[in-house]
């Protein structure tokens, strides 16, 4: 009688092949899942903003000290003109200031105060016209950038910048 393969042997072989096949598929899925997880973690690590950690004892942000008092010079512009006219100020520690401008050549006097991270000032021309300016300290360039305007009935406005000398 010819030898017939045992069905149970064939079934065992099939089961082991299937088991091997499922194992390979599971390993591929696991590898793919692992790579996706690693990429997701790397994406989150590189795209999320980092938490600011303060070295202070109380966990508060460090205080930024603006050294405003002293001499500053720069340029101002009228209306929509870029700053192109000479402008200088001397901020005094007592809250007063002197303003020097080329157009017209004049010395003006006024007051200033530091409000948050902005310098606010009011000064008056000899004829009585008053003006205000407000400027923020720009850390990256180490200067004050701001906006000035006339107090009615005077008119005028523009931008300016000042650098400490």
| pLDDT, tens only, 1-43 | 555 555 444 444 445 555 656 666 666 777 777 788 888 887 7
3-state DSSP call for residue 78? coil
pTM: 0.58
Confidence at residue 17, expressed as pLDDT on a 0 to 100 scale: 55
Query: Domain 70-164, what fold?
Result: Lipocalin (2.40.128)
Contact 108, 88 (CB under 8 A): no
Cis peptide before 81 (omega within 30 of 0): no
- For the chain, the domains span 1-50, 70-164
> pLDDT tens-digit profile of 64-82?
566 788 899 999 998 888 9
> Is residue 50 pLDDT above 70, yes or no?
no
Query: What mean pLDDT is predicted for residues 54-71?
Result: 66
């Amino acid at each position: 009688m010819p030898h017939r393969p045992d069905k149970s042997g064939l079934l065992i072989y099939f089961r082991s092949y299937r088991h091997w096949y499922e194992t390979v598929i599971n390993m591929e899925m696991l590898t793919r899942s692992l790579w996706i997880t690693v990429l997701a973690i790397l994406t989150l690590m590189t795209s999320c903003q980092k938490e600011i950690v303060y070295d202070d004892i109380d966990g508060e942000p460090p205080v930024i000290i603006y050294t405003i008092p002293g001499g500053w010079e720069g340029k101002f512009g009228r209306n929509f003109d870029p700053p192109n006219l000479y402008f200088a100020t001397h901020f005094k520690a007592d809250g007063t200031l002197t303003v020097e401008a080329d157009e017209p050549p004049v010395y003006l006097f006024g007051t200033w105060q530091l409000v948050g991270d902005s310098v606010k000032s009011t000064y008056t021309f000899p004829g009585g016209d008053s003006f205000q300016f407000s400027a923020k300290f720009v850390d990256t360039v180490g200067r004050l950038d701001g906006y000035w305007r006339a107090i009615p009935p005077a008119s005028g406005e523009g931008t300016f910048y000042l650098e400490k000398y």
